[in-house]
A and B are shown apart, each in its own frame.
Chain A
Amino acid sequence: MGSRSEDKIEDITKKISQSLQGLSIEISTKEEIVTVNVKPENLVEVAKKLKDMGFDHVKSVTAIDFPEQKELEVIYHVSSLGDLDLAKVIVTLKTRVTSDDPRIPSLVEIWPSSKYPEREEHEMLGLVFEGHPELERLLLPEDYEGPPPLRKEFKVRTEGIQG
């Protein structure tokens, strides 16, 4: 990794920070990862701006359960496949919703590659993505009853001494 590619990454991260000013709560950079914290209301607009800049696909959708604060955090990792300079940078888009009413707008019209990951997080954590065309079970069996598996209240058996 030479100094020219490091300069390119810095230029790109500066451009992202400038164009998303005002729409986000916080932006931070660490090497090649840009973290953007937004409120759920501004999520769709920020996504459209990133898409216009050239970030054209979603790598993964992750959702995390924080039971003490009763919140679910949803994280989108976005990058580029067509433009090989932008492909070095991963933009992390974070937002939080409450776990009693976990509804969040879906980004399927902007990024069609988020269709299957959103379905998986819906069944694993109970998130409801509004506007998703096919929100149904993906990996769990059809007759599965019980709480969403990846929440912290769902415990699996462990062995030995827990310390």
Chain B
Amino acid sequence: MSEERTMELLIGPQHPSSGHMRLYAEVDGDIVVRLKPNIGYVHRTVEKLAETKKYIQIIPLVERPSLADAANHNLGYVLALEKLLGIEAPPRAQYLRTILAEMNRIHSHFYGLGIHGIMLGSSTIFMWGFADREIMIEMAQRLTGARLTYSYIIPGGVRRDLPQGFEEEMEKALRYIERRLKDYGKLFLRNPVTRARLEGVGVLRKEDAIKLGIVGPNLRASGVPYDVRKVQPYCAYPELEFDVAVREEGDSMARVLVRVEEIRQSMRIIRQALKQIPDGPILSENYLKMIPPKWKEFMETKGRVKFPAIMANLRPPKGEAISRVEAARGELVYYIISDGTTSPYRFRMVTPSFRNVVLFEHLIRECRVADIPAIYGSMDYFPPEADR
């Protein structure tokens, strides 16, 4: 009599939240017995296409899987490429890279908060989250010229210098976001409805998190203080002071609170970086000497970089390189093998959302059907990033 108790529920590819994936849920009444994810609905074969494109053409290709967080993906790829080429960017370019990466982290976390809000049913937080995100996008547009896909970081440096009046406008923007975060606390984080839906739901213990290889704010909300910016610092992080946000409970509420705390720490990093930024060139000396003098004058007056001709045909020597950065959703690893031609021989990219897919099976078990969007949103899973 107990063979046919469970019913299979297909939460299909078209669903009212971010991105496409299918969840097969086995439901017994209102309790979910087991859940199996089925991914691959946005698989755009980035790894195979990278073997047919030149190294500088891979920069836009690598930004597209995770549109909400493009600068960190760009940065990871260029760090691996610079290890292969054996060059380093000058200090001013390292600081500019750090500032853009932190701005990206802020507006990616607002995106995650907004999508989580609408999954729980609070469309106010969706509207607030996306409105406050526009401030950081506008500042990024002043710096780079584009809203979301910057392609700002190139091997050897960055493409543009700081415009006039950037520091004052950034200070105003950061003060506005600090005031708004207090309103989020009152409306969403300390709201009794949110607390009843998120506290104690989807608890991830510390040993399981380490065993399954989880990364990002999901890991730090379970008590493990692992952050690539502290373990193996890159760019300007060795000279900047900030704290790693860690919580011990491991439930969905802890994951949301870790993200809000990371927004505050990112604002602290941006303020310090803008005060300490050194003067100097923004492109490495190896490439600066290949540019003719007339264009060098243009570069000094306008603050924009003209590409030397060699960038179209970069041929790194034979070898391999690994790089890792801390993207907004976790740790991102790039592994490039080069065989001396203008395209890589093998290109491997492991994104944080791909490493977090196993949480669907592990966390959504013995809970109610209404907990599925609460846990799904707190993981900040982005399907195009996982499928690449």
Contact = CB atoms under 8 A, between A and B. Distances in A.
A156 B43 contact: no
Given A88-B232, A139-B39, A116 B224 contact: no
Interface residues of B, number: 36
Interface residues of A, number: 36
A140 B387 CA distance: 10
Given A81-B226, A149-B48, A139 B210 contact: no
Given A84-B226, A139-B387, A57 B210 contact: yes
A71 interface: no
A92 B337 CA distance: 14
B355 A141 contact: no
Interface string B22-56: 00000000000000000110010101110010000
Nearest to A66: B345
B224 A81 contact: yes
Contacts of A106: none
A77 B219 CA distance: 19
B382 interface: no
Interface in B49-81: 49, 52
B231 A60 contact: no
Interface string A61-76: 0101000000000010
Contact of A62 (B238, B335, B354): B335
Q: Which of A57, A81, A140, A150 has the most CB of B within 10 A?
A: A81
Given A84-B226, A150-B48, A60 B43 contact: no
B224 to A, nearest CB: 6
Interface string B374-388: 000000000000010
Nearest to A114: B213
Interface string A129-156: 0000000011111000000011000101
A49 interface: no
A113 interface: yes
A127 interface: no
A58 interface: yes
A62 B348 contact: yes
Given A32-B232, A57-B210, A82-B224, A138 B48 contact: no
Interface string A105-124: 00000011101110000001
A90 interface: yes
17 contacts: A58-B213, A59-B213, A77-B335, A81-B209, A81-B219, A81-B224, A87-B226, A112-B213, A113-B212, A113-B355, A116-B355, A139-B39, A139-B40, A139-B43, A140-B40, A154-B48, A156-B48
